[in-house]
């Protein structure tokens, strides 16, 4: 049977870019999203439906040899906080079902399915720390952080069970910091201020920031995000008991970013108007990440300085 790759949430920024990368590698893709595809690729099978349709998910695995899963469908942080019941259904229950289906079908047919799950620095808490490692204190205070942590832990347990059987699920996850894109401007997230500020500077618009100037957080560019996912999944085996890895390119404070943008765009202006709900979350997330395990086990690399990082984003956004 021909091997296929399943992607959930293909209309999102990560999902849409990963679909294109997989097609470039001649992978046969089945793509699910609750909305119609914004663009069609002939070799991709598109399905408009929800991951809460368990019968559909089960039938996909029963009818296909799914060698890899990229699970991007989720309620994001601010949406999750407004509807915690739905967040548990989508981010936890449906994710467990997807893992279970992938595991059981692979066991029944005696093969391994690689499973990628995008996690987040939202799993950290309850206090801000520097150079956070994967094993540091993890007590998230948001529904979204708890959702992500629950699936990290569940996927890791199923991974260990699969190791004993020598078939089943190969679970791999990355804890992403703030992702900065050159072609989209996100809203509603704690780290979204950085993308918003950069794009405001490019347009010569004033920016009113919802975080305090001294707030420091880690970040990664969208291109490095995509290449990191592809690199992690390219390895036949990741010989580590750690299944959720840290990545970052740079870390900076709000003021460091605004000062650099003002240097590059002298007419750009910034004001600071703290919003408690954003600030309280940012105060529990790490100011920087320890990426040693990612470098050791799957060759993640990053030697970016803030100015170079920023120039790359600005050049692509123009």
Same fold, 3-178+221-246 and 179-219+250-287+303-317: no
CATH topology of domain 3-178+221-246: Rossmann fold (3.40.50)
Segment 32-74, tens digit of pLDDT: 999 998 889 999 999 999 999 999 999 999 999 999 999 999 9
Count other C-beta atoms under 10 Å from residue 4's C-beta: 17
Strand partners, 270: 207
Tell which CATH classification among 3.90.25.10, 3.40.1380.10, 1.10.10.10, 3.30.43.10 matches the domain 179-219+250-287+303-317: 3.90.25.10
Answer whether residue 79 shows pLDDT above 90.
no
Closest CA to 234 of 226, 244, 223, 242: 226
Listed in order, strand segments (DSSP E) in 49-111 are 65-71
Type and span of the H or E element at 116: strand 112-120
CA distances from 227 to 173, 220, 223, 233 (A): 14, 11, 6, 10
With a cut of 90, say whether residue 303 has pLDDT above it.
no
- Reported for 273-277, long-range contacts at CB under 8 A and 24+ positions apart, including other chains, are 273/208, 273/209, 273/210, 274/210, 274/211, 274/212, 275/210, 275/211
Is 76's pLDDT higher than 90? no
The full set of domain ranges for the chain reads 3-178+221-246, 179-219+250-287+303-317
Above 90 in pLDDT, residue 148?
A: yes
Query: Would you tell me how many other CB atoms lie within 10 Å of the CB of residue 174?
Result: 22
């Amino acid at each position: 049977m021909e091997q296929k790759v399943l992607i959930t949430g293909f209309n999102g920024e990560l999902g849409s870019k990963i679909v294109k990368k997989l097609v470039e590698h001649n992978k046969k893709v089945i793509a699910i999203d609750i909305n119609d595809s914004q663009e069609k690729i002939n070799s991709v099978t598109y399905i408009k439906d929800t991951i809460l349709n368990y019968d559909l998910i089960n039938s996909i695995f029963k009818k296909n040899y799914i060698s890899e899963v990229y699970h991007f469908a989720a309620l994001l942080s601010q949406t999750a906080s407004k509807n915690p019941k739905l967040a548990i259904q989508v981010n936890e229950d449906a994710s467990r079902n997807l893992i279970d289906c992938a595991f059981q079908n692979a066991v029944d047919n005696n093969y391994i399915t690689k499973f990628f799950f995008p996690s987040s620095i939202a799993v950290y808490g309850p206090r801000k720390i520097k150079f956070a490692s994967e094993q540091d204190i993890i007590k998230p205070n948001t529904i979204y952080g708890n959702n992500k942590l629950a699936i990290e832990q569940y996927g890791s347990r199923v991974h260990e069970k699969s190791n004993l059987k020598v078939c089943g699920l190969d679970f791999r996850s990355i804890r992403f910091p703030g992702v900065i894109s050159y072609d989209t401007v996100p809203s509603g997230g704690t780290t979204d201020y950085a993308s918003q500020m950069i794009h405001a500077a490019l347009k010569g618009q004033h920016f009113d920031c919802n975080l305090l100037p001294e707030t420091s957080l880690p970040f990664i560019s969208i291109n490095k995000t995509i290449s990191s996912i592809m690199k992690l999944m390219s390895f036949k085996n990741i010989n580590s008991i750690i299944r959720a890895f840290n990545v970052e390119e740079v870390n900076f404070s709000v003021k460091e970013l605004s000062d650099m943008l003002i240097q590059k765009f002298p007419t750009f202006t910034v004001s600071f108007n703290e919003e408690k709900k954003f600030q309280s979350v940012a105060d529990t997330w790490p100011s920087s990440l320890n990426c040693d395990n990612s470098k050791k086990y799957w060759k993640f690399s990053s030697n970016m300085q803030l100015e170079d990082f920023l120039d790359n984003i600005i050049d692509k956004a123009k």
